[in-house]
Each structure stands twice: as structure tokens, then as C-alpha cells.
């Protein structure tokens, strides 16, 4: 082969072809549609059927929403406005504007609305340093004291009753510090739990009455029967959420304990509570609990419900956290032992942080379920938002209205539950340790 022939081989490229655009079916919206909605004949049929259903629903509901009436004094007036406008269907959203105060506050006195409003703001401020670690840790002191301030703002009465409640926790901490050198961890924990309970049952009310006589500081009292609406759902839900997590952690640890009595008590409590419907516990709190209390004891109904809801959520929370503990490899426990950490230090620094991170989806799922379950209190005579909707529909002005109230209540709960879900996703992203 000659040199000239070797330098002019036909398949050796000496120029590049111009770059072409990719096929239109492989870019943009058309690619997305092909991959997600029309990737096969089954997917295509389901997509077309879904479009028909969506069109049917929207074509019927959109005029009802679009023609909604926002200003009227009764359902009859809404219908008169609808007929005068010449439309077939129109939502009567005027009931929300007319009765929003009952849906939010129940029968709370109107001149005292500033108190639950301020309590709600304080609750958000108290949650901030707990939810976002970028804030100062000193603000946690306010988070610890805020429940007592919120209680006083909503129920009113003497300021010395919440002060007496705070003293119970102080006495419990003092008992723990005193008993710990003498009886170890178990004895100190028992003393720390027993002393506050005895104080609250035997001496707290007398102390509060005595101090009120000496230094009278009080606000107008509001009985629990006047509380209602969304305010009650927030009170019961937030209380259950805040208290069920630490109680659930203790129950989960107790269920894994080597101490037979502790393990048996925790297992018995968890299995009993999980085997009983929440509505049964609420009826127990409403009707039966007073039979087990000393004669003449006035145990607030909402406080009883808070206790039962907290215990119910704690049992489920214990199982969620136990799942997180079971998911940890045994090497983590061995590493804690190798570092010379005792049981509580190992739980605090190594075991529990990882178990809680694993359990975040289950924990938030329990919180969301608990918050929605607060609507069950309507069956024991507490007028939450659903209970207030029944009371509103029982009046002559709004008898016969349904969907507008239920849609509003559902929207409020959806916003709250979706916010919790979004925060849990934020927390999961923040705590990720993998690098995928």
C-alpha cells in the first residue's frame, strides 16, 4: 500500500458533523408525559380515566365554590341571594364569617379573647427553641415555664395554683438529688415521681389558697365548659404531643429493662392501652374517673381528657421508639460500653439520638394521628370544632348547612397536619449522615 493511499483512507474523519437538536419526544413536557402518564397502554387508560373523573368533579364543584356567598346572616338569606343571582348552586361560606368566633374559641367570653390569643403566641415562641437548634439554648427555660403561664392565661383564677404545680417539679428534682447518693438511680427516679404526686394531691391546693389569701393575684376565671372550638383541639393535641414523647421514651426503655417488675409494668401498660379504643378511655375519663377520687374532688374534665390522651399516645410512642432502638446495630451498644459510659450516659449520647432519628417518621405519624383524634372529645360533651359545627347547625339560622363547615374544619386540620409533616421532612434532611 502506497503512502498516498494510506493518507486518504475513506473512513478516517477529518471534519465533524454539525450538532443536531434531540428529538422533541425526548425533551421537555412531552418526555415527562411519555414517561409518567403514557408509558404503556395500561398507564394511558388510567390517565384518560383519571382525566374524566377530574373533569367531572371540577365541573360540578367549581361553580359551587365560585358562586360562594360570604356575607349573609342565615342559610335562608344565602338561598335568597343565590336565587336572586340566578345561579343553580352556591356555597354558603357566610356561616364561617358569622360563627368563626365559636369555631375558634367555643363559648369563651368575647372580652377575654386576648388571653387565648396571647397563649397561642407564647406557645409558638416556646416551641421555637425546641424545633430549631440555631436559637439560644437559654430560651428553653421559657419553654419549660410556658405551659404554666398558658394554663393561667386560658383558665384564669389564682396565679398561685400554677406556681404550686411548678413547686411540685422543684420538689421532685430535690428528691432526686437527695435520694440518688443513698438509693441509686432507681430509688431516685421513684422518689422524683412520688414526691410531686403527693404534693399535688395533698398540699398544692392548700398552699395556693394560703398564698392567695396573703398575696391575692388572680384573673377572671373561665370554667372548662366555656372552652371549645379549635382552642380545645390545640390544648389537648399539643399537651399530648409534648408529654407523650418523653413518657414514650421511658416506657420503651422500661420494656427493654432487665428489671422484671419495671419491664412487666411497662409491657402491661403498653399492651392494655393499645388494646383499648381511645373513645373508651375518654368515656372513662368523663364518667368513671371521679368514682376513684376522694369525695368532693373537682377534677377538671379537660384535664382528665388531657391525661387520657397523653397516656394513649405514650403507649403508641413507646412502640415507635422501641422500633428505632431495635433497628440500631449491636455495635453501637458495644461502642458505648467500650467508652466506659454508664447506662444513662450511653442512652443520652449514643443510643437514643440515633433511635429517635430512625423513628422520626413514626413519631410524627403518631403526632398527626393524635391531633386528629382530638375530635373524638365531642362524644363526651366537649365542644371542639366538630362539636361546635353540630351546635351551629342546630340553630334555626343555620339548620341544614353541612359541607361548608366540614370543608373549613378539614382545611384547618390539614394545614396543621401538613405543617408537622413538612417539619419532619426538614428534620430528616438535616440529620442525614449519608452522602448519596
* CATH number of residue 273's parent domain: 1.10.3720.10
Lowest-pLDDT choice from 251-255, 293-297, 322-326: 293-297
Q: How many domains is the chain built from?
A: 3
Q: What is the dihedral of CA 240, 242, 248, 251, to 10 degrees?
A: -100
User: Cβ of 96: how many Cβ atoms within 10 Å?
Assistant: 17
| Residues 412, 385 contacting (CB under 8 angstroms) | yes
Give φ, ψ of 219 to 5 degrees: -115, 170
Of residues 427, 398, 402, the one with CA closest to residue 98: 398
The answer to whether residue 13 is domain-embedded is no
Same domain membership, residue 274 and residue 171: no
Does the pLDDT of residue 11 top 70, yes or no? no
Domain boundary among 173, 193, 208: 208
Buried b (16+ CB within 10 A) or exposed e, 309-326: bbbbbbbbbbbbbbebbe
The answer to whether residue 297 is domain-embedded is yes
Same domain membership, residue 241 and residue 375: yes
Same domain membership, residue 297 and residue 194: no
Same domain membership, residue 171 and residue 66: no
Quote the CA–CA distance of 46 and 39 in Å, as a whole number: 11
Same domain membership, residue 75 and residue 186: no
**Each residue of 254-271: pLDDT tens digit?**
888 888 888 899 999 999
Quote the CA–CA distance of 81 and 60 in Å, as a whole number: 20
Quote the CA–CA distance of 249 and 319 in Å, as a whole number: 9
Q: Which pTM does this prediction carry? A: 0.81
Chain position carrying cell 443536531: 20
Same domain membership, residue 174 and residue 53: no
For residue 26, the SS3 value is helix
Domain boundary among 94, 123, 139: 94
Domain boundary among 190, 208, 226: 208
Same domain membership, residue 220 and residue 194: no
Same domain membership, residue 180 and residue 134: no
The answer to whether residue 7 is domain-embedded is no
Same domain membership, residue 88 and residue 113: no
Quote the CA–CA distance of 298 and 295 in Å, as a whole number: 9
**Each residue of 173-211: pLDDT tens digit?**
988 888 888 777 777 888 888 888 888 888 888 888 898
The answer to whether residue 168 is domain-embedded is yes
Strand partners, 308: none
Q: Which domain holds residue 202?
A: 163-208
Measured CA to CA in angstroms, residue 171 lies from 141, 146, 188, 247, 344 at distances of 17, 19, 12, 19, 22
Same domain membership, residue 413 and residue 281: yes
The answer to whether residue 291 is domain-embedded is yes
| Residues 384, 377 contacting (CB under 8 angstroms) | yes
Same domain membership, residue 116 and residue 172: no
Chain position carrying cell 407523650: 244
Quote the CA–CA distance of 356 and 366 in Å, as a whole number: 13
Instruction: Quickly state the pLDDT bin for 7 (edges 50, 70, 90).
Output: low
Same domain membership, residue 288 and residue 414: yes
The answer to whether residue 408 is domain-embedded is yes
Does the pLDDT of residue 297 top 90, yes or no? no
The answer to whether residue 258 is domain-embedded is yes
**Each residue of 120-159: pLDDT tens digit?**
999 998 888 888 877 777 778 888 888 899 999 999 888 9
The answer to whether residue 380 is domain-embedded is yes
**Each residue of 55-103: pLDDT tens digit?**
998 888 888 888 888 888 888 888 888 888 888 888 888 899 888 999 9
Amino acid at each position: 500500500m502506497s503512502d498516498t493511499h494510506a493518507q486518504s483512507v475513506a473512513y478516517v474523519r477529518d471534519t465533524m458533523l454539525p450538532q443536531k437538536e434531540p428529538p422533541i419526544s425526548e425533551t421537555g413536557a412531552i418526555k415527562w408525559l411519555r414517561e409518567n402518564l403514557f408509558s404503556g397502554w395500561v398507564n394511558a387508560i388510567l390517565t384518560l380515566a383519571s382525566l374524566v373523573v377530574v373533569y367531572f368533579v371540577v365541573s360540578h364543584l367549581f361553580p359551587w365554590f365560585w358562586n360562594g356567598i360570604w356575607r349573609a346572616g342565615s342559610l335562608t338569606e344565602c338561598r335568597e341571594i343565590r336565587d336572586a343571582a340566578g345561579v343553580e348552586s352556591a356555597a354558603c361560606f357566610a356561616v364561617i364569617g358569622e360563627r368563626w368566633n365559636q369555631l375558634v374559641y367555643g363559648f369563651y367570653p368575647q372580652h377575654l379573647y386576648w388571653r387565648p390569643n396571647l397563649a397561642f403566641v407564647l406557645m409558638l415562641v416556646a416551641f421555637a427553641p425546641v424545633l430549631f437548634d440555631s436559637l439560644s439554648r437559654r430560651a428553653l427555660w421559657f419553654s419549660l415555664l410556658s405551659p404554666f403561664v398558658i394554663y393561667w392565661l386560658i383558665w384564669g383564677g389564682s396565679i398561685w395554683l400554677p406556681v404550686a404545680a411548678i413547686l411540685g417539679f422543684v420538689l421532685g428534682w430535690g428528691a432526686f438529688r437527695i435520694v440518688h447518693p443513698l438509693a441509686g438511680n432507681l430509688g431516685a427516679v421513684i422518689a422524683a415521681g412520688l414526691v410531686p404526686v403527693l404534693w399535688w394531691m395533698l398540699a398544692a391546693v392548700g398552699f395556693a389558697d394560703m398564698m392567695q389569701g396573703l398575696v391575692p393575684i388572680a384573673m377572671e376565671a373561665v370554667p372548662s365548659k366555656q372552652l371549645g372550638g379549635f382552642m380545645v383541639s390545640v390544648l389537648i393535641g399539643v399537651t399530648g404531643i409534648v408529654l407523650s414523647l418523653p413518657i414514650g421514651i421511658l416506657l420503651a426503655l422500661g420494656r427493654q429493662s432487665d428489671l422484671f417488675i419495671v419491664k412487666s409494668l411497662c409491657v402491661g401498660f403498653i399492651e392494655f392501652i393499645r388494646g383499648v379504643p381511645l373513645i373508651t378511655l375518654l368515656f372513662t375519663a368523663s364518667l368513671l374517673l371521679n368514682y376513684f377520687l376522694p369525695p368532693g374532688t373537682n377534677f377538671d374534665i379537660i384535664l382528665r381528657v388531657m391525661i387520657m390522651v397523653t397516656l394513649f399516645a405514650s403507649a403508641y410512642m413507646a412502640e415507635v421508639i422501641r422500633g428505632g432502638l431495635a433497628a440500631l446495630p449491636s455495635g453501637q451498644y458495644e461502642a458505648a460500653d467500650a467508652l466506659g459510659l454508664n447506662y444513662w450516659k450511653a442512652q443520652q449520647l449514643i443510643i437514643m439520638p440515633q433511635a429517635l432519628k430512625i423513628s422520626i417518621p413514626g413519631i410524627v405519624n403518631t403526632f398527626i394521628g393524635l391531633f386528629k383524634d382530638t375530635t373524638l372529645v365531642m362524644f363526651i360533651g366537649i365542644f371542639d370544632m366538630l362539636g361546635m359545627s353540630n351546635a351551629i347547625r342546630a340553630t334555626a339560622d343555620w339548620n341544614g348547612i353541612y359541607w361548608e363547615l366540614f370543608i373549613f374544619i378539614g382545611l384547618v386540620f390539614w394545614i396543621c397536619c401538613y405543617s408537622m409533616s413538612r417539619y419532619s421532612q426538614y428534620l430528616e434532611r438535616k440529620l442525614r449522615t449519608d452522602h448519596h
